[in-house]
Amino acid sequence: MNNPTFNLSRVNRVLLPILASSLLFGCNQSTSNPDNSTQGPVTPQQLVKVYYQATTAQRSGDSSPYSKASLYVWNNEQCAAYAGNNPDANDWAKGLLPTGVDDELGAYWELPYHANESTQCINFIPRIDGQKPLGDYDAKVDLTQLGADNAVYTQQGVAAVYPELIPRNALPANTARLYLNTQDGDESFFTLHVWNEGDCQNYAASNSAWPGIAPSGYSKTYGPYWDLPINGRDNCINVIPNNKTNGDYQTANLKLDFTKTGAIGPIGFVFKGTDKIYYQPLAKRPQNQVELSGASAIFADASTLLVGNLEVTSATLYYSRQGQLRFDSASKTVLNADHTITSQRPSGTEWQAQKPHLTSAFRGFEFDFQAAGLDLKTLLQGQLLLVASDATGVLLATEVQPASALDALYADSAVTLEYGALVNPDGSTTFRLWAPTAQAVSLIPYGADKQAKTPIAMGFDAQSGSWSAVNTALAHGDYYRYQVTVYHPATDQIETYQVTDPYSHSLAINSLYSQVVDLNHADLKPHGWDTLAAPHPQNERADFILYEAHVRDFSAHDTTVTSAHRGKFAAFSEQESQPVQHLKQLARSGVTHLHLLPVFDIATINEDPEQVVNLEQPFSRLCDLKPALKNDSDLAAYCTGNDTLQSVFTTLKARDSKEQPLVQRLNGFLRDVDSFNWGYDPFHYTVPEGSYATQPDGVTRIKEFREMVQAVKQEIGMNVVMDVVYNHTNEAGVSDKSVLDRIVPWYYQRLNEWSGQVENSTCCSNTAPENRMFAKLIDDSIRTWVKEYKIDAFRWDLMGHHPLAQIEQTLAAAKQINPDVYFYGEGWNFGEVANDRQFKQATQLNLAGTGIGSFSDRLRDAVRGGGPFDGEASLRANQGWGNGIYVQKNDLSNNTRAQALHLADLTRLGMAGNLKAFTFIDQTGNTIKGSELDYNGQAAGYANDAWEIQNYVSKHDNQTLWDIQQYKIDYALPLETRVRMQAVSLATAVLGQGVPFVHMGSELLRSKSMQRDSYDSGDWYNRVDFGKTSNNWNVGLPRQDKDGSNWSIIETVIAQAGANAEPQAADIATMNDYFNELVQLRRSSSLLTLGKGSEIIKRVHFHNTGSEQILGVIVMSIDNQGELYDASLDAARSGLVMVLNASPTPLTEFAHFDATDYQLHAIQADLGNRSIAYHGEAASVVNQRLSVPAWSVAVFEKRHP
């Protein structure tokens, strides 16, 4: 999954103790008769430099403005560190003359001061001929805020003192600046996420993509900084400084608030480790005042509290039942506490195994709640603050993260119970909700008219933390919600609101109400449902071919599908439609599984047909839903016509350009009010999506989902895979689409250990499957999909954000129902959990031997070239094995032979199942293991068995295979060659030993008009034509926020390639035939699906390797003769040889493989010139040697005697 819309937490907390002292600003008034008293001498004495820079000197280098410069200096009770004895210093008529003049920085004075004097500041006023060039402003030297060389700086016209001068002309007009003061690591690691949202709308550029933009420059004193274009200074900009590209640090969601900026202009300063923006120049974080900061007190269990400060020796926990706690920063005390408990007893180290990421920065304290007469379960139902101190006083005041305490107190009992609306045999319903921190929960029944009925009180079970209402009169089909009263840290108060059931099995339209449902009810089952079986056995996982589809893409605009069923579950039941006929052909060829992008309840698709508009509907309807469209100078005229959106898009694409990107502009109005979204925005995990049902209100979605599954298995002939997204929720906090976090705040979401903010590295509000009750919810949800919907396999979105132990536990739970259920997913390693920081993750390198599959980026990047985050010229320059690297260079390619050889090695290893123990000869001529081949600094080979690898060259993320190829292919190459390149690239996955994963439409040359990320880009860009008349190429520039920087190269590719990149119906049909041929070849012999790593290592060999290999050619043999002969694998063949020729040069009589008794595979021989093995001439065996045409794939077989 890429990153769709970046949804941000609503909680704005402080990260570490934010300490404020007397600042560099003085009072904004003159002191005409100051107190000139000086404290007694305090040693030792040191010197501080005070600079004054005049504007004219700044502009011209003229030093004459300093000829009449003087500095007035004095001590008083507030500032008494000046140690000079020159009487002119505090004589207003005289003052101190400059010590010297610096050509750049101006006049300066060296002032002696008492280093140990308590106030640590000096009063001063620069003067020019008796005038005050800083204005009516008494300046102060804060000796804790000195810059380099013990200096401070002032400049004409600015009432401020700087540790490092920021010249007035350094900041361009209409620009703000934010500094991040950090002393650790490489400052270039840091980025800034910037966006407009809510009240903050002053950012004048497009919202940054996470993690953000690189620094504009670097200050020795203030750290890296970002110059940000602004459209005014009337509100603010949202910012998050972070190093999420290379680390795990980020601030809370901060606001650069221009109503708070002062004399120095729109400039802010953040200190790493805080969540506060200062608006005066500071060299160091202020030191005297403690403020409430974040949530760096974390329960490790029911008695151990971890505190994010290693210096503290005492920790006091404060509790308020009604959420009335307030921390007074001046007195460093907590007000309005009902109870307190203090511990000075250090904990043991047992917690470190469960929370390894906290070991270096957190200290544990043991609390004896029982001895204090307190009940921790009661405390957790209110507001908690922790104040930590050392011998000098308070060092930290912070909120408390409760999740591990809740697990320790309740989970053993809670995991044994069932939750949700449980229909009893007598038709009554028992409701159970896990909400241990809630103070009250009621069940609110709703009638069919969605009007509330009399609330039903729910009882609390103190052992499990659950609330229940037993044997209620509510029955199958009735609607309900829970009313929950709970303290929520997002608002710092007790909240009472209604929320749907996280264990819902059915919902009202737009998920506004949960619905009681008996999933075993006869009305919800299609005929024959109970006896429905999968058409393919699941115990031979190496035989799988996974075909990734999206419910709406499949049929939304296919006229052979009944209008009411287009884009719906029901379309899969229309046996004579083009989309279904296409799937049937794929199934006959050998595709085994239909993988469905998210089909659970999706938060970002409006299910109400009256509130959406789609391509086939009138343009005027969009104008009604988006009134701003009526003011668009290019599009408004269509609002009064009779055109459909489809026809307007068709008209606009003819004149679409980067100067006038009309298609994507219109799509920008449409995309949040249409019916399209990939669906990676979970709302309720265990309910089918309502927009895919013909009636989204109620149980129709359940029966139609089952009818779809039945049709796919029984009529089409494929098993069914479901895409699941338990790694995040669409929202958190108290917002309307937050469910889990409103019921048990700060439990189901993963929180940052400093700020307490919900982590969002996934895209949205990260969940915490390491917590036991969320792991149980996942187990129960998966079991429901397996048992009640007969799902055969699950693809886990961002699986690397899950603990491996939890994934294995969930797999075991699913296998209790279907012993052959299969899991695979995205084992990417990133975010706050990266490198097993918090737990052993379900990442690529950790999955070996588990039988759980993961997507391999190794083969993907080798074949496509470059990586998924390439942009602009690099999209073209970085060619891959499948599009001509080094052998068919494009105009921008500068790839070396060594790079081409390395990509060939990665492709070979991928075709061998990406096994870590597989041995082969690499590009240098050395024999290495897969684990020794490099992939961007990691081991390329990581699997034990081939079914632990999903090999792919295209999926829903990133550009389609056709689109990425067009970026990279030589402009002069004809269309026929481009089609063959597509087939050769797909062959690396289909004919390799891993589990092939194929993006719907790859076999039809599918294009998304170069769109990199089409998650909510609508039907116009995402459509698939199963009628095979169009591949959707060049229907308009892709959306600006994702691809705007690529528009120039896209226009160049389209113009230069011209008709060479415009497939016609015959080209699409040819590619479809090639793909079916490849699938049939894979199905023809179990030698191509060995699966077990030990068998692959014994039987698979590569024959065009080493430094002198023929570039662009892979020759892969699979042995089944002599002692290796195994009739159960292939009784008819003694061996197979695959030759993939990804080069413009025919392979003629290849000398490094003895092809005696080999012949072209019968499937390809029967196809003749329609085969991908034929290109002007057929692949053949001549003189016991293999010959294969350019840009071809040939499989040779040796028949068993």
Q: How far is CA 990 from CA 546, 919, 1077, 1080, in A?
A: 10, 21, 10, 10
Alpha carbons 343 and 355: distance in angstroms, whole number: 21
Q: How far is CA 695 from CA 228, 508, 700, 702, 703, in A?
A: 48, 10, 6, 10, 11
The domain made up of 408-524 is a member of CATH 2.60.40.10: yes
Secondary structure string (H, E, C) spanning 426-450: CCCEEEEEECCCEEEEEEEEECCCC
pLDDT of residue 266: 96
For 297-406, give the CATH class. mainly beta
**Which residues is 956 bridged to in the sheet?**
none
- pTM metric for this prediction: 0.86
Residue whose tokens read 């709703």: 446
For 45-162, give the CATH class. mainly beta
Q: How far is CA 441 from the centre of its chain?
A: 34
pLDDT of residue 251: 85
The amino acid sitting at 442 is S
Q: Is-catalytic flag, 199?
A: no
Contacts of 87-96 spanning 24+ positions with Cβ under 8 A: 90/34, 90/36, 92/32, 94/70, 95/70, 95/71, 95/127, 96/70, 96/71, 96/72
H-type alpha helices, 654-731: 662-670, 700-710
Annotated active-site residue in 674, 826, 1067, 1095: 826
Alpha carbons 1035 and 1057: distance in angstroms, whole number: 15
The residue extents of the domains of the chain are: 45-162, 175-278, 297-406, 408-524, 859-1076, 1097-1199
Alpha carbons 836 and 833: distance in angstroms, whole number: 6
Angle of helix 857-864 versus helix 975-990 axis, rounded to 10: 160
- DSSP-derived pairing of the beta strands 793-796 and 719-724: parallel
pLDDT of residue 3: 36
Question: For 1097-1199, which CATH superfamily applies?
Answer: Golgi alpha-mannosidase II (2.60.40.1180)
> What does the block give as tokens for 97?
């003359």
Same topology between domain 859-1076 and domain 1097-1199: no
- Taking the CB of residue 647, how many other CB atoms lie within 10 A of it? 16
The amino acid sitting at 961 is L
Alpha carbons 588 and 1162: distance in angstroms, whole number: 17
Alpha carbons 266 and 280: distance in angstroms, whole number: 10
- DSSP-derived pairing of the beta strands 1147-1150 and 217-219: unpaired
Closest among 953, 970, 915 to 1097, alpha carbons compared: 915
- Taking the CB of residue 972, how many other CB atoms lie within 10 A of it? 12
pLDDT (tens digit per residue) in 870-921: 999 999 999 999 999 999 999 999 999 999 999 999 999 999 999 999 999 9
Annotated active-site residue in 797, 861, 905, 1077: 797
Q: Is-catalytic flag, 797?
A: yes
Architecture of domain 175-278: Sandwich (2.60)
DSSP, collapsed to helix, strand or coil, labels residue 108 as strand
Alpha carbons 504 and 601: distance in angstroms, whole number: 10
Alpha carbons 110 and 42: distance in angstroms, whole number: 18
Q: With the CA atoms of 633, 636, 638 and 644 taken in that order, what torsion angle do they form, in degrees rounded to the nearest 10?
A: 110
230: Cβ contacts below 8 Å, ≥ 6 apart: 174, 175, 176, 202, 203, 204, 237, 258, 266
Positions of the chain with pLDDT lower than 50, given as ranges = 2-43, 58-60
Cis peptide bond upstream of 211, omega within 30: yes
859-1076 to CATH, choices 2.60.40.1730, 3.90.105.10, 2.40.170.20, 3.20.20.80: 3.20.20.80
The amino acid sitting at 170 is A
pLDDT of residue 718: 99
DSSP, collapsed to helix, strand or coil, labels residue 142 as strand
pLDDT of residue 12: 31
